[in-house]
């Protein structure tokens, strides 16, 4: 009973039940909104919130700027798709194999570059991502294995096959990505509150000082890139199953990597909720621009993104998470005692 | 990366006999060297700014694209592309100085104690996205080519065909390399720039206004970008995303040569140019790009500080 009482105490605090309300709203969203268009937009919003959260582990917490995270998305998408199309292995398992491969590539990039400071890693990520994308774009087949080249691959259609990660109704995908996002947030939360998080922050702020205190900088940076790569690759498999079609410029392109960077920086790097806030504020803007402005004004949303990013860096170095948090706690304070 | 140009340079060669084959290789080496030196020129601005401010300027690619558009516009009103340098270079110097004194300086001051400031890097990445898409909004996604008297012009030196515009590009690279190194070595301003690059605080104690110096250095970097944009116009297509073609290449080049080293940038550019033109003799041009990335990664493993990985090379 005492435990329950404590739990009730926790719930009655405004800053907690407001948050729970928002989470509940997210879970109940498909029950209220029947329009497939809005469901699709929300899936993309959450997809980017998740991707950016993964980016945040590496680039926010560990401070290693990645501009090639799309390479992990591509590895995830292609691995699960190829395994499914050729061996019939369900993407539910294939996505973990993709994740493992992504970790391998991540370590391959991180190992040499983490010795160096500054921009080396950032540039290496671009080079690796672009290099791999070019390879996939220019390879029709490896031996008998068809990997589609620039035209990409379609996932064999099965209509409704839950065990093969295929659903006719988009709502299933909504819940999958929503749960994935919360898994990603939980991992970030655990990092934020654990020793690893403090190590990573120490490395980000001053690597020499961290090293002097006995923190193996490279080891923890490699851990960060492994986590980031693994979870990003899961999103790649998700994207393949959602769209049932993948092409290298779509899942592996530089624009996808830059999108993660923009959302993460604007939202607030190195914070738990920053990436989610960034995605929830900005991805709808992009989708609306795409729908209502259309292709006549290409790049309109990126002009907005780019200017917001410049403004955020100059005036809100911790991202828009900071003012939003202030508003949130201000609201909670008004609703009642903080307890 | 830089594949567009090779469509014109290295036609799919058939099986040649011994002597003729040798000649194609020499031709490819000459082409690769000329083009590579221009890659080096494009990377000069990037490596200079890094060497002095410890800032990787991600907006470099989009500024190059804007320089190309400006030079292209001047060509369209009938100006000789090389004469348009007298407008493009000062405009870009001014743009660089203003950009530094207004936006970048602000971000630099926020992280004054940090050796390699991250927020400046992110700021330039934001500017990259902004500039590129502003131009895209303004002019649309069409590909443009400038028709100048140099477009397609060639001359022959003992059987080797040399493209006039490429030769001028090579000359521009050499001249700006020597001007830049002697400026940094012999003039007071150049010495002040180097001093501010080596030790910001010590330079300040010697009475150097380091923010002004940074502005000048950034301005020089941008003037070099203006120069490289202009020399590309006679033979390269112009498009809002064209900066990426050279941008990623120049990032690779500066790391290959060693961040902050001008000579390294030149030789890094030449290496990339040679890989591309010689590689095109054996494989599809798009695969040469993969080879470039591969060489880059190999260098990172073997000699991560780059070929000329000295801290300061002047």
Residue-by-residue DSSP string for A159-192? SSBGGGTB-SSHHHHHHHHHHHHHHHHHHHHHHH
Between CA B250 and CA B242 the distance in angstroms is 13
A-B CB pairs within 8 A amount to 132
CB-based contact A259:A47 (threshold 8 Å): no
Task: Say what the alpha-carbon torsion angle A284, A290, A293, A299 is, to the nearest 10 degrees.
Answer: 100
Strand runs (DSSP E) across A36-195, as ranges? 141-142, 145-146, 153-154
Q: Check A298 against B115: CB less than 8 A apart.
A: no
Residue of chain B nearest A67, judged by CA positions = B125
Residue B190's contacts (CB-CB under 8 Å, 6 or more residues apart) are B183, B184
Q: Check A307 against B54: CB less than 8 A apart.
A: no
> Which residues in chain B touch residue A55, judged by CB atoms under 8 angstroms apart?
none
Between CA A196 and CA A215 the distance in angstroms is 10
Q: Check B56 against A317: CB less than 8 A apart.
A: no
Q: Check B129 against A317: CB less than 8 A apart.
A: no
**Selected residue of A278, A313, A319 to mutate for chain B interface (largest B Cβ count, 10 A):** A313
Tokens of A73: 């998305």
More confident residue, B72 or A3: B72
CB-based contact A257:A127 (threshold 8 Å): no
Q: Give the CATH class of B24-302.
A: mainly alpha
Counting Cβ atoms within 10 Å, is residue B151 exposed (0-12), middle (13-18) or buried (19+)?
middle
Distance from CA of A163 to the nearest CA of B (A): 38
Cα four-point dihedral sign B285, B286, B291, B293:
positive
Q: Which helix (H) or strand (E) holds B160?
A: strand B160-163
- DSSP letter at A116 equals S
Summarize pLDDT for B114-156 with one digit per residue, the tens. 666 778 888 998 999 899 989 988 888 888 888 888 877 888 8
Say how far residue B66 (Cα) sits from the centre of its chain: 13
| Portion of chain B with pLDDT greater than 70, in percent | 90
Q: Check B137 against A297: CB less than 8 A apart.
A: yes
Strand bridging mode A145-146 / A141-142: antiparallel
Give the residues across from A161 on adjacent strands: A166
CB environment B251-290: b (16+ within 10 A), e (fewer): bbbbbbbbbbbbbbbbbbbbbbbbbbbbbbeeeebbbbbb
Cα four-point dihedral sign B138, B142, B143, B147:
negative
Residue A124: which of B121, B284, B300 has the nearest Cβ? B300
Q: Check B116 against A112: CB less than 8 A apart.
A: no
Distance from CA of B118 to the nearest CA of A (A): 8
Looking up tokens 């190829």, which residue turns up?
A82
CB-based contact A217:A205 (threshold 8 Å): no
Give the residues across from B163 on adjacent strands: B154
CB-based contact A66:A121 (threshold 8 Å): yes
Three-class SS of residue B143? Answer: coil
Tokens of B8: 């014109």
CB environment A181-191: b (16+ within 10 A), e (fewer): bbebbebbeeb
Strand bridging mode A245-246 / A141-142: unpaired
Q: Check B123 against A314: CB less than 8 A apart.
A: yes
pLDDT at A225 over 90: yes
Between CA A231 and CA A180 the distance in angstroms is 9
> Which residues in chain B touch residue A313, judged by CB atoms under 8 angstroms apart?
107, 119, 122-123, 126
> Which residues in chain B touch residue A209, judged by CB atoms under 8 angstroms apart?
none
> Which residues in chain B touch residue A303, judged by CB atoms under 8 angstroms apart?
130, 133-134, 137
Counting Cβ atoms within 10 Å, is residue A328 exposed (0-12), middle (13-18) or buried (19+)?
middle
Strand runs (DSSP E) across B216-273, as ranges? none
Residue of chain B nearest A311, judged by CA positions = B123
Summarize pLDDT for B79-98 with one digit per residue, the tens. 888 888 999 999 999 999 99
CB-based contact A210:A199 (threshold 8 Å): yes
**Selected residue of B293, B298, B299 to mutate for chain A interface (largest A Cβ count, 10 A):** B293
Distance from CA of A123 to the nearest CA of B (A): 7
Three-class SS of residue B147? Answer: coil
Q: Check A128 against B293: CB less than 8 A apart.
A: yes
pLDDT at B6 over 60: no
CB-based contact A256:A263 (threshold 8 Å): no
Q: Which of A45, A68, A65, A47 is nearest to A57 (CA)?
A: A65
Between CA B266 and CA B174 the distance in angstroms is 9
More confident residue, B14 or A48: A48
Three-class SS of residue A17? Answer: helix
Between CA B126 and CA A59 the distance in angstroms is 16
Query: What pLDDT, on a 0 to 100 scale, did the predictor assign at position A180?
Result: 94
Residue of chain B nearest A312, judged by CA positions = B123
Query: What pLDDT, on a 0 to 100 scale, did the predictor assign at position A92?
Result: 92
Q: Check A131 against B110: CB less than 8 A apart.
A: no
Q: What is the gyration radius of the CA atoms in chain A, in angstroms?
A: 21
pLDDT at A12 over 80: no
> Which residues in chain B touch residue A134, judged by CB atoms under 8 angstroms apart?
286, 289-290, 293
Arithmetic mean of pLDDT, A48-66: 92
Distance from CA of A202 to the nearest CA of B (A): 14
Q: Supply the ipTM of this predicted assembly.
A: 0.82
Q: Check B56 against A118: CB less than 8 A apart.
A: yes
Arithmetic mean of pLDDT, B273-278: 90
pLDDT at A53 over 70: yes
pLDDT at A4 over 50: yes
| Portion of chain A with pLDDT greater than 70, in percent | 95
Give the residues across from B156 on adjacent strands: B161
Query: What pLDDT, on a 0 to 100 scale, did the predictor assign at position B312?
Result: 41
Q: Check B132 against A302: CB less than 8 A apart.
A: yes
Tokens of A331: 């609201």
0.90 cut: is pTM over it?
A: no
> Which residues in chain B touch residue A315, judged by CB atoms under 8 angstroms apart?
none
Query: What pLDDT, on a 0 to 100 scale, did the predictor assign at position A134?
Result: 86
Q: Which helix (H) or strand (E) holds B43?
A: helix B18-53
Query: What pLDDT, on a 0 to 100 scale, did the predictor assign at position B138?
Result: 86
> Which residues in chain B touch residue A116, judged by CB atoms under 8 angstroms apart?
304-305
Residue of chain B nearest A319, judged by CA positions = B119
Distance from CA of A297 to the nearest CA of B (A): 6
Q: Check B293 against A127: CB less than 8 A apart.
A: yes
Q: Check B125 against A67: CB less than 8 A apart.
A: yes
pLDDT at A228 over 90: yes
Q: Which of B250, B246, B263, B255 is nearest to B297 (CA)?
A: B255
- DSSP letter at A146 equals E
Residue B19's contacts (CB-CB under 8 Å, 6 or more residues apart) are none
Between CA A151 and CA A149 the distance in angstroms is 5
Which whole-number Å values give the CA distances from A331 to A9, A18, A24, A174, A328, in the listed order? 19, 9, 18, 29, 5
Least confident range from A267-281, B166-180, B285-299: namely: B285-299
Residue-by-residue DSSP string for A234-290? HHHHHHHHHHSEE-HHHHS-HHHHHHHHHHHHHH-TTSSSHHHHHHHHHHHHHHHII
> Which residues in chain A touch residue B107, judged by CB atoms under 8 angstroms apart?
313-314
Residue-by-residue DSSP string for A183-234? HHHHHHHHHHHSHHHHHHHHHHH-HHHHHHTT--HHHHHHHHHHHHHHHHHH
Distance from CA of A249 to the nearest CA of B (A): 14
Q: Rounded to 5 degrees, what angle do the CA atoms A140, A141, A146 make? A: 100
Cα four-point dihedral sign A86, A90, A92, A94:
negative
Counting Cβ atoms within 10 Å, is residue B179 exposed (0-12), middle (13-18) or buried (19+)?
exposed
Say how far residue B179 (Cα) sits from the centre of its chain: 16
CB-based contact B218:B104 (threshold 8 Å): yes
Query: What pLDDT, on a 0 to 100 scale, did the predictor assign at position B8?
Result: 45
């Amino acid at each position: 009973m005492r435990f329950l009482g404590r739990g009730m105490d926790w719930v009655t605090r405004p800053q907690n039940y407001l948050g729970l309300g928002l989470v509940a709203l997210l879970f109940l969203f498909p029950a209220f909104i029947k329009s497939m268009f809005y469901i699709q937009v929300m899936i993309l919003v959450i997809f980017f919130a998740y991707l950016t959260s993964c980016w945040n582990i590496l680039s926010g917490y560990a401070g290693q700027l990645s501009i090639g995270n799309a390479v992990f998305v591509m590895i995830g998408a292609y691995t699960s798709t190829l395994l499914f199309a050729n061996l019939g292995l369900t993407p539910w398992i294939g996505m973990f194999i993709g994740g493992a491969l992504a970790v391998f590539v991540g370590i391959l990039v991180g190992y040499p570059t983490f010795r160096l400071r500054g921009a080396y890693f950032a540039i290496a990520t671009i080079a690796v991502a672009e290099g791999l994308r070019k390879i996939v774009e220019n390879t029709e087949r490896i031996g008998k294995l068809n990997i589609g080249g620039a035209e990409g691959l379609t996932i064999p259609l099965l209509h409704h096959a839950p065990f093969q990660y295929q659903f006719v109704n988009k709502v299933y995908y909504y819940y999958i990505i929503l749960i994935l996002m919360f898994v990603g947030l939980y991992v970030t939360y655990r990092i934020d509150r654990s020793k690893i998080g403090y190590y990573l922050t120490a490395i980000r702020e001053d690597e020499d000082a961290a090293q002097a205190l006995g923190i193996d900088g490279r080891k923890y940076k490699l851990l960060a890139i492994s986590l980031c790569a693994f979870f990003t690759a899961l999103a790649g498999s998700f994207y393949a199953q959602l769209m049932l079609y993948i092409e290298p410029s779509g899942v592996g392109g530089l624009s996808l990597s830059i999108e993660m960077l923009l959302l993460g920086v604007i939202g607030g790097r190195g914070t738990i909720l920053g990436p989610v806030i960034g995605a929830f504020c900005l991805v709808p803007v992009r989708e609306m621009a795409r729908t209502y402005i259309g292709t006549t004004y290409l790049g309109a949303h990126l002009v907005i993104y780019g200017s917001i990013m410049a403004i955020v860096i100059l005036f809100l170095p911790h991202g828009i998470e900071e003012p939003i948090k202030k508003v949130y706690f201000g609201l909670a304070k008004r609703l009642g005692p903080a307890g | 990366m830089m594949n567009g140009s090779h469509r014109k340079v290295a036609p799919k060669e058939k099986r040649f006999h011994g002597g003729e084959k040798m000649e194609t290789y020499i031709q490819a080496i000459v082409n690769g060297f000329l083009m590579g030196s221009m890659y080096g020129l494009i990377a000069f601005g990037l490596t200079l700014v890094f060497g002095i401010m410890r800032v990787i300027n991600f907006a470099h690619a989009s500024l190059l694209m804007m320089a190309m558009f400006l030079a292209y516009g001047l060509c369209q009103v009938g100006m000789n592309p090389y004469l348009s340098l007298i407008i493009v270079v000062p405009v870009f110097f001014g743009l660089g100085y203003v950009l530094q004194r207004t936006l970048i300086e602000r971000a630099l001051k926020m992280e004054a104690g940090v050796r390699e400031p991250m927020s400046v890097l992110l700021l330039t990445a934001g500017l990259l996205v902004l500039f590129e898409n502003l131009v895209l909004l303004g002019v649309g996604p069409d590909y443009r080519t400038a028709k100048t008297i140099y477009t397609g012009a060639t001359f022959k030196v003992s059987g080797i065909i040399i493209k006039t515009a490429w030769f001028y590009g090579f000359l521009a690279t050499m001249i700006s390399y020597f001007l830049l190194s002697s400026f940094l070595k012999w003039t007071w301003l150049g010495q002040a720039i180097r001093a501010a690059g080596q030790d910001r605080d010590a330079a300040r104690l010697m009475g150097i206004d380091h923010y002004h110096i940074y502005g000048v250095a950034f301005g020089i970097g941008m003037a070099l970008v203006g120069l490289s944009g202009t020399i590309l116009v006679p033979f390269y297509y112009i498009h809002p995303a064209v900066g990426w073609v050279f941008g990623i290449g120049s990032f690779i080049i500066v790391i290959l040569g060693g961040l902050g080293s001008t000579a390294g940038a030149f030789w890094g550019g030449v290496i990339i140019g040679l890989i591309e033109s010689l590689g095109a003799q054996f494989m599809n041009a798009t695969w040469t790009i993969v080879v470039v990335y591969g060489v880059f990664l190999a260098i990172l493993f073997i000699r991560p500080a780059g070929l000329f990985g000295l801290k300061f090379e002047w």
